[in-house]
């Protein structure tokens, strides 16, 4: 009788243990399902981290090119001293770059139109088009002129113009937002022409 009682208790103990293990699995499954629903809801809502925190972006117009240092070169970015930040993060970057007060030189340098900030793979990046595939060429006929700024029109000078090779890619994709309608005006490159020199498209003055 005693042996039979012990056997019954063993059976009940095993059954109870299996019941709790199954309950844990069910709870875990329910939690996983809930997490998947929450993640799906966030994805459907288009939620993403604050772009100003890490330089994340959706379109090129959200990105701004700045000197990485406090003063830059006469206030301008250069190929060796440039950074692209989200437009909401400009003040924060400048405050960090100039954390130690310095006296910047009182000079002004014209901006290089070939240095741009764009949005690539969801991140603001600084590009030097002088060395990008977009400006590679083998002859003058491969190069064309375009405004350095999206939708720029009217008479444009050397500092507002880029020469690039359309066969190597799209300049608009780098400087313009995907869904954008420009005003009904056209850029005018009077006195300028696109040339291929040393394997790169450049902006030159006609007759120069």
8 has pLDDT over 90: no
The domain of 93 spans: 50-128
Of 86, 103, 128, the residue that ends a domain is 128
- Give the pLDDT score at 208: 61
Let me know whether 61 and 94 are in one domain.
yes
Global pTM exceeds 0.75? no
> How much of the chain, in percent, has pLDDT values that exceed 70?
74
DSSP label of 81 = B
| C-beta neighbour count of 195 within 10 angstroms | 15
Relative to beta strand 192-197, strand 200-205 is antiparallel
Let me know whether 19 and 72 are in one domain.
no
Over residues 31-58, mean pLDDT: 43
Residue 23 banded pLDDT, cuts 50, 70, 90: very low
Which pair of structure tokens corresponds to residue 37? 């629903």
Residue 114, classified by CB atoms within 10 Å of its CB into exposed (0-12), middle (13-18) or buried (19+), is: buried
Termini Cα distance of the chain: 114
Domain count, the chain: 3
Let me know whether 54 and 121 are in one domain.
yes
Least confident of 88-97, 132-141, 160-169, 196-205: 88-97
Residue 153 CA to residue 145 CA, distance in Å, equals: 12
Least confident of 38-42, 163-167, 179-183, 187-191: 38-42
Residue 171, classified by CB atoms within 10 Å of its CB into exposed (0-12), middle (13-18) or buried (19+), is: buried
Let me know whether 100 and 157 are in one domain.
no
Of 128, 143, 178, the residue that ends a domain is 128
Of 128, 163, 182, the residue that ends a domain is 128
């Amino acid at each position: 009788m005693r042996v039979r009682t012990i056997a019954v208790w063993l059976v009940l103990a095993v059954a109870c243990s299996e019941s709790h293990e199954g309950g844990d699995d069910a709870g875990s499954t329910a939690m996983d399902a809930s997490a998947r629903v929450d993640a799906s809801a966030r994805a459907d809502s288009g939620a993403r981290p604050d772009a100003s925190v890490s330089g994340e972006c959706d379109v090129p117009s959200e990105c701004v090119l700045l000197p990485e240092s406090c003063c830059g070169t006469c206030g301008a970015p250069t190929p060796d001293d440039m950074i692209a930040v989200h437009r909401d993060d400009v003040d924060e970057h400048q405050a960090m770059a100039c954390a130690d007060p310095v006296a910047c030189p009182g000079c002004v340098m014209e901006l290089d139109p070939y240095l741009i900030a764009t949005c690539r793979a969801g991140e603001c990046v600084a590009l030097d088009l002088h060395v990008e595939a977009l400006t590679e060429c083998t002859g003058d006929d491969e190069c064309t002129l375009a405004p350095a700024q999206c939708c720029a029109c009217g008479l444009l000078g050397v500092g507002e113009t880029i020469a690039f090779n359309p066969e190597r890619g799209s300049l608009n994709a780098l400087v313009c937002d995907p869904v954008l309608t420009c005003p009904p005006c056209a850029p005018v490159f009077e006195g300028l022409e696109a040339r291929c020199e040393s394997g790169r498209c450049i902006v030159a003055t006609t007759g120069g």
